[in-house]
Structure 1
Amino acid sequence: MATNGTANGSTPSTANGNASNGTSNTSPLHILIAGAGIGGLTAALALRQEGHRVTLFERSQLARETGAAIHLAPNSNGILRRLGIFAEKFGSNTCDFITEYDKDSNLVRKIPVGRMAGMWANPWLLAHRVQLHEQLKKAATSAEGKGEPAVLKVGVKVVDFDVENATLTLDGGEVIKGDVLLGADGVHSVARGKINTEIKPFPCEQNAFRFLLPKETALAVPGFEKFLKDEGELAFWYGLKRRVVFYPTSNNTLLNFVCMHPAAESNASAAGADWDQGASVETLVKCYDGFDPVLVELLKKADPKTLKVWPLLDMDELPIWHKGRLALLGDAAHPFLPHQGQGAGVAIEDGAAIACVLPLGTPREEIPERLALYDKIRHFRATEIQRVSRVLGMDQKDHGVDHQAFTAYNFGHDEFDNARQKFREYQWAKNPQVYQRMPTAFGPMPGPRQDHLGRPQNGKESTFVTTSIKFKTTRTALQTLFPPGCEGYSFLSPAGVATASFSHTTLDGMDWLGGKGYDHLGLYIHGVKYTKSDGKVVSGTYMPVLFENLADPIITGRDELGMPKIYSTIEAERSGDSVTIKAGWQGTQWGSFSISGLSSSESQLSQGGSAVSGEQDAGLIVHRYIPSVGRESKGKAESDYAVFTPTGEEDVKAEISSVKASQTAELKLDAGDWKSLPTLHHIIERLAELPVLAIISAKVVEGKGVPDVSHARPV
C-alpha cells in the first residue's frame, strides 16, 4: 500500500497530461504569473514541481511585508505540506481553542477544537504571514527542490495581458512571451480587466486594524492574563458593527490582532494598497470605546510604527475566471472578507488546482480548455466560501449558516485529490467511446482495445504463433456444447459428423501488456449457424470455451466481448519439427496436444484465414451470459445472447510469415476429479467425452499483427 505523499513533501503527480492526443511530448510550459503573494507563490511552487518553467512578476520589492499572522486551516495546510512546506517548522502553532466574548468580556462559548484534530487529515495551524511567505518564496525559487527554480522579478508592474498569445507587458514597455498567463495580482487586479471590465471590488463599509503584539506585552496589561491561560486560543470580542479577533503565532510568543469596525471611523483608502496603510493608536482605541476596559488597555499597546489599517473590500461573483491563455486566482478572482480566515487558504487551493490541470506534457493547444477546467473545478467552492464569509461578517445571530457543516466543508477538502480526479474525468471524457469495466471508480480500464484513457491500442507489431489440430467427431457430441435452452444454434450440414479444432496461440509484444504476452487455448466447432428470431442467419465457427493463462485478457474478453474465457496454465514446448501444448491447473495437467513431423507448407502460406479462429470461415460465434446479482436472482441472467465476430473487419490484418503442417497429431484430455481440478473438472470432463474419429490436419502458423476483436457485436 502506498504511503501518504506528505511524508517527503512531494507533489502527488497527476495523470499524464499529454495523454489526450497520444503524443510523448514532455516539454515544459513557460508560465508567467503576475503577483508573488501567497497564491501566486503556491502556484509557482506547484507548477515548478510539475516540471514547468515559471516566472513571477511582483510590483512591490517584497521588502516591506507587513507583520501579521495567517490562519492555516487543514484544507490549505494540507496543500502546503504536500508541497514540502511544514509551517510548524518555522514557529506556527496549533489552534486548540475558539472562544467568543461579548464586548464586556462575558464568555459566550469556548470550544476546545484541539480535541477535534483527529477529524482532519492535517493540522490546524496559526502561522506568521511573513515567515510563510518567505518559505514559499524560498521553495519556489531556490536551487534546491524538484524542478527548475522559478524566476522572481520584483519591482516590476504588469500593465497589460494578451490573452490569446500569452504575453504580458511591463510598465517599461517590455513584452514577455509565455505559454500560460496567471493573474495572481490581488484585489486590484489588472488581469481581471482582460476578462471582465464590469465587476470590480467595492468597499463593504468596514475597515480592519492589524497589528502584532508580543505575548509578554499583553501579559503586562493588568487583567488581560486571564485571556491567555490557554495556548493556541483564537478569541473573538463582538460588539455592534465591530469585533476584535486575536490569536497567537510564532510558538505562542506573538499575538495577532484583527480589529474590524465601521470604515468611517478610520482613515483608509479603498483604492490604495491592501496591507500597508498606516493608522494611529488613538483612532484604534476610539473605535472600541465601550468595550471591556482591559481589552481597550491592551489595544493601547499597539506599536504605532507597525499598526496598519486595511479597507475591507467585497466583490460580486465573477462569472468566469479565464479567457484564452489567462486565468485568475486568489483575490484577483474572488476577494474575501476575513470572517473565516480562508482568503489565503482558498488562494492556496487555486494554486494546487492549476498545477493539477497543467501537468508536464500538457499540449499547448489544450491550454485554453485546461484553464476552463480549472475554473470549473474551483468556481463553486471559492464562491460559496466567499458568500458564507460575507454572511458571517454580519451582526445578526440567525444567519442561517450551519457552522459545523460548513467547517467540515471548509476543512475536510483536499484540492489536490479533488482537482486530480476532475482532471482524470476530463481526460476520460475526451474519449467517450470507451469500455468501462469494474472497478469503474478508476476510469477506463486498460486492455487490448484501449489504454488507460480509452484510446485504441496498436497490435500491428504484436506477434503470434498458433498451433491447431483439426479433427472429425460426431455432430451429437458437439451440439451438446451449445448453450442450453438456446434454440438458435445448429449445424449448417445435416450430416452426423462434424469438425472441430483445438487451437493454441502464444501472443507476444502486446502493447497493452507492456510488450509482454500470454497464451490461449480454445475449442472451435466449425460449420455452425445461429438463426435469429427474425429468421436471419449468421454462420461461422462456434467457440464454447477459451482457456487463458493470464487474468487480464480473461477479464477484458469476458466483459467487453462476451467471450467464454476461463483460467488454465498453458505451456508450449517446441523442438525441431514437433510441438506439444500442455494445459493444467495448479500443478495438475488436464490436456496435452502434440504435433510431430511438421514441415513448411507454401500452399497454406497464402490461404490465410480468420485471425480469430485460424480457419477460413465467416466469423466467430460465442454466447455471452452474465448472471444477475443476488440470491433472489439466482438462475436469472443480466445478459444472455449470441455474439458474432465477422471475418474481414479486423482492425489489424495478420501478416503470416510461416506455416508448417503435418498429418500426425495427438489429443489427450484427462478430467481427473473435482479435488484435482475443482474449477475445471466439469469442463474438461465434457471435452474428454468428444470422440476423435480422425485427425484432419495439424499446423503451426506464425506471424505478426494481432487484432483487438473490437468488431465483435451482439447478434
Structure 2
Amino acid sequence: MDPPTGLSILIVGAGIAGLAAATALRQQGHQVEVFERSRLAEEVGAAIHLTPNANGALKRIGVDTRKYGAVKTEKYREYDINGRANHSMDVAEISQKWQHEWLLIHRAHLHDALKDKAIGAGKGKPAVLHTSCKIAEVDVHNASITLEDGKSFHGDLVLGADGVHAFTRRYVADESVKPFSSGSNAFRFLIPRQVVLDDPEVADLVEVDGTCQTWRHFDKRIVVYPCVNNTMLNLVCIHPDNLTSVGINQGWDQGVSKETLKETFKEFDPRALRILDKADPESIRIFPLLDMENLPEWTNDRLALVGDAAHPFLPYRASGGAMAIEDGLCLSILLPGDIKKDDVPARLKLYEEARQERVFNILQYTRDSATRPVGAEESARVFAYIFDHDEWDYSTEFLRRHLRAQNPQLYYRQPTVFGPMPGPRQDFRGRDRVAASVKSTFRTASIQFKTSRTYLKNLLPNTSYSFPGSGSVAHATLSQTTLDGMDWLAGGGYNHLGLYIHGVQHKGAGGQITEGLYLPVLFEDLTDAIISGREELGFPKVYSDIDIDNRRDSYAVTAGWRGAVWGRMSLTGLKEGQTSGSPQPSKMFVHRYMPSVGMEHRGTPEAEYPVVIDFAEESKTVPTKITRVLTAEKATFEIDGLDWKRLPTLHHIISRLAEVPVYEVLEGKVVEGEGVANVSSARRLHL
C-alpha cells in the first residue's frame, strides 16, 4: 500500500467559505474534515451574486451552479425613489468581455452545490462532514481542535471558516476585534416571480429573465433580482439601523413584521412598494449589516481564517461570497498535495500576503458604496477590478514567484516572463545540475597546428589580450566535440566546433595576469545550447550545421549553413595511442559583448568584459574519465569563405577563419570519455 499523501486539514464551519476550501483542498490530495455547528449544515439566507470571478473560481473546482438553479444576469436597472430610471445596463452584451457568466443563485442551492462537491465522489478523498459540533478550543501550534463534548481532532492545519462571529478569530486577533453595525439593517425575503408577473401594474419590471433592479435614495435601497431558475425573486431592502430594531449577534434569521417593512420604505415608488406588498409576512427576515476593522493578520502558526471569519463584507459589491470562494482556491494552490508539513505555517502566511491587498481594496469599495454616491466611471473601474480577476491564475503565479525568490541565483534568459530557464546549469525546478553530468559522454576530434601569431592577434578583442614573449608563431586548435547523454537535454546531445588559440594572456587594469586558451568563436548545431552559452556565460556562439562521419579508422566533419558547406576536417589512419601534444591549459577565456538596444546606441555595448573558465574547478564537480584515445596518421582541415549570398550571417566570420594560415599540423586525435562539465566555473574577470 502506498503511504498516505497530503495534509490532514480541519475546517471549522461548513458555510460557503468552509465548503469551497474543503472542495479545493481535497482535490489537491489532502484529507479534509469539516466541523459544522448546526445540525444539518444548511446555509441560511436568501440569494447571492456569483460574479464572473466567483463563477470562474467555482468552475475551477468543478462546481456548475447552473445545475442548481443559478440564473444568468441579463440586465441591470437602477431607479430613484420616485421610479425614474437613473441607469440601465445590458449585462448580456457587456458580459462578452468576461470568460465566465455573472450568475444569481439561492444561497441554500449554492451551499448544496458546494457540499455535494466536497463530500461526494470525485477527485481526491471526499471530505468528512461532522455536524452539531461546537468548538471549545483550538491549538494553533499543534493544529488540533477540541469540541464542547470533549472530543479532540488533530491535523496539520486548521482553517477558521466560522463566519462573521467566528470563534476561531480570537486565536488570531485580540478579542476586542468584533463586528459592529455599519449603520444599516436589511430586510430579506423571497417571493414567487409569477405573483409579480400576474400583476399588470408591475409585470413589466420582471418580464425579462435575469433582470436585477435597484431603487435608491440616499441611505435606503430596494434590490430585486431572480434566482431558482428565474422562478423566485430575491429582495433585499437596506435602510438606516435606527429605523428598525435588530440583534447584532443574532444572525440572519430574525423575524420582523410586514408593516415595519412597508413603513420603512413608505416614501418609495409605488410600484416598488407594490412588489414589497406581495411578501409572505412569515417569510420576512431582518439582519444587521456588519462591518469590522481590517485584520492585519489572518493566520497564527497552523491556523488561518477564511471568508467572513477574516473579512466580513457589506453587501454592496456582491463580493462577500466571492472572496470566500477565492480564499479557498488560493489556499489550494499554495498548499499542493506534496507540500511538507513543516512548510505549512509559512504557506499560510503566504496566503495572507496573496489575498489581503485585493480583499482590503474591495472592502473599501463596499464601504464607499454604502456611504456615498458612486459615479458610472468609478463604478466601471471597480467592476473591472473585481470581475476581471482569476484567482487560480493569480495564486499560481504568486506561488511561482515566491518559490523563485527562495533561490536568488536562478538563471533567467529571454523570455523571462515564463520563469527561470532550464539548461545545462539548472533543471526545470531551479536546482543545480552537477552529478547528472557525470555519465554524459563526449567525443572530441581536434587538430592542433602552428600558425601566425600576427594574424591571431587580430582575433583578440582588445589590447588587454596578448601573446607573452616574442616570436611570430602561435599554436591553435580546431576542435569538434559531440556530446551525448546530456541530462539537461533529456539524454540527447549536440555538436560544437571551435577555434582555440593557445598561450593568450589577459592583463587587468591592476596589472594582474591570467593565462589560458582564448576562444574567438564556437559553432553549435543546437540553438538551446547557443542561447544558454551566450546569455549565461558570454560565449561567442553561433549556429552552424555540423555533420559527422565516424568510421573505424577515420573521422570526418562537415560544417555548413543551409546546404552551403564552409568547412571540412579529416582525420585518417586512426590508431589507439597516446597524444604527443602540449599539456592541457588550466584556463580558457571568452569575451562577453552585449550590444545596446536602439539604433542611436549602435556601437556602444550594454556590457563588455572577459570571462574566464577554470578547468581545474570544473573537474572538481564533474571529473572527466577518458575511455579511448585515437591518434591520426594524417589530419587536415579546409575552410571556404564562400560569399555573402551563400553565408549571409556567417561570411564575416568564416572569411576570416579561411585566412588563418597553417604552418604545420602538430597533432590530430580523437578522444572519447565520460563526464561533461557544465561550465559553472565561468566567472567575470575583473578588469
TM range (shorter): over 0.9
Superposed counterparts of 1:248-647, under 5 Å: 248-272=226-250, 274-394=251-371, 396-397=372-373, 402-458=378-434, 459-483=437-461, 486-601=462-577, 616-647=584-615
Is the CA contact 2:579–2:669 (under 8 Å) kept in the aligned structure 1? no
C-alpha separation in 2, matches of 1:306 and 1:582: 88
> Which region of structure 1 is more displaced relative to structure 2, 336-345 or 653-662?
653-662
Any idea what SS the aligned residue of 2:455 has?
helix
C-alpha separation in 2, matches of 1:439 and 1:87: 39
Shift of 1:257: 0.6
C-alpha separation in 2, matches of 1:655 and 1:45: 53
Shift of 1:265: 4.3
C-alpha separation in 1, matches of 2:424 and 2:208: 63
2:15 corresponds to: 37
> Which region of structure 1 is more displaced relative to structure 2, 410-419 or 333-342?
410-419
- Structure 1, unaligned runs of 5 or more: 1-24, 610-614
Paired amino acid for 1:657 = I
Shift of 1:324: 0.9
1:657 corresponds to: 626
1:22 corresponds to: none
Any idea what SS the aligned residue of 2:225 has?
strand
C-alpha separation in 1, matches of 2:522 and 2:315: 66
Cα distance per residue 1:590-630 (max 9 Å; x no partner): 322232333444688xx9x9xxxxx6213111111121112
C-alpha separation in 2, matches of 1:89 and 1:647: 67
Paired amino acid for 1:196 = A
| Residue 210 of structure 1, aligned match among 188, 191, 195 | 188
The change in CA–CA distance for 1:167 and 1:662 in structure 2 (over 3 A counts) is same
Paired amino acid for 2:640 = D
Any idea what SS the aligned residue of 1:185 has?
coil
Cα distance per residue 1:249-301 (max 9 Å; x no partner): 233221111112233544532222x3333333333233223333433332232
C-alpha separation in 2, matches of 1:276 and 1:257: 15
Q: Are 1:176 and 2:153 counterparts? A: yes
C-alpha separation in 2, matches of 1:370 and 1:98: 40
Is the CA contact 2:410–2:420 (under 8 Å) kept in the aligned structure 1? yes
Q: Are 1:188 and 2:193 counterparts? A: no
Paired amino acid for 1:37 = G
Is the CA contact 1:209–1:259 (under 8 Å) kept in the aligned structure 2? yes
C-alpha separation in 1, matches of 2:485 and 2:277: 79
Aligned residues: 678
Is the CA contact 1:26–1:360 (under 8 Å) kept in the aligned structure 2? no
Is the CA contact 1:622–1:644 (under 8 Å) kept in the aligned structure 2? yes
Any idea what SS the aligned residue of 1:648 has?
helix
Shift of 1:398: 6.7
Shift of 1:653: 3.1
1:700 corresponds to: 670
| Residue 673 of structure 1, aligned match among 643, 646, 655 | 643
Cα distance per residue 1:646-701 (max 9 Å; x no partner): 23222523231313131422223233333333322332222222222222223333
Is the CA contact 1:489–1:529 (under 8 Å) kept in the aligned structure 2? yes
Shift of 1:330: 0.6
The change in CA–CA distance for 1:548 and 1:398 in structure 2 (over 3 A counts) is closer
Is the CA contact 2:624–2:676 (under 8 Å) kept in the aligned structure 1? no
Any idea what SS the aligned residue of 1:117 has?
helix
1:119 corresponds to: 97
Is the CA contact 2:628–2:673 (under 8 Å) kept in the aligned structure 1? no
Any idea what SS the aligned residue of 1:482 has?
coil
Shift of 1:342: 0.8
Shift of 1:226: 3.4
Shift of 1:644: 1.3
Paired amino acid for 2:678 = D
Cα distance per residue 1:116-147 (max 9 Å; x no partner): 11232322222222222212222222213x32
C-alpha separation in 2, matches of 1:444 and 1:139: 36
Is the CA contact 2:225–2:233 (under 8 Å) kept in the aligned structure 1? yes
**What is the aligned-residue RMSD (CA, Å)?**
2.4
Cα distance per residue 1:460-495 (max 9 Å; x no partner): 333322222212222123222222xx1112112422
Shift of 1:240: 5.1
Is the CA contact 1:471–1:695 (under 8 Å) kept in the aligned structure 2? yes
Alignment TM-score, normalising by the size of structure 1: 0.90
> Which region of structure 1 is more displaced relative to structure 2, 699-708 or 345-354?
699-708
1:234 corresponds to: 212
The change in CA–CA distance for 1:435 and 1:180 in structure 2 (over 3 A counts) is same
C-alpha separation in 1, matches of 2:300 and 2:274: 51
C-alpha separation in 1, matches of 2:338 and 2:290: 39
> Which region of structure 1 is more displaced relative to structure 2, 506-515 or 534-543?
506-515
2:121 corresponds to: 143
Report % sequence identity: 46
Shift of 1:526: 0.5
Paired amino acid for 2:370 = G
Is the CA contact 2:575–2:632 (under 8 Å) kept in the aligned structure 1? no
Alignment TM-score, normalising by the size of structure 2: 0.93
- Structure 2, unaligned runs of 5 or more: none
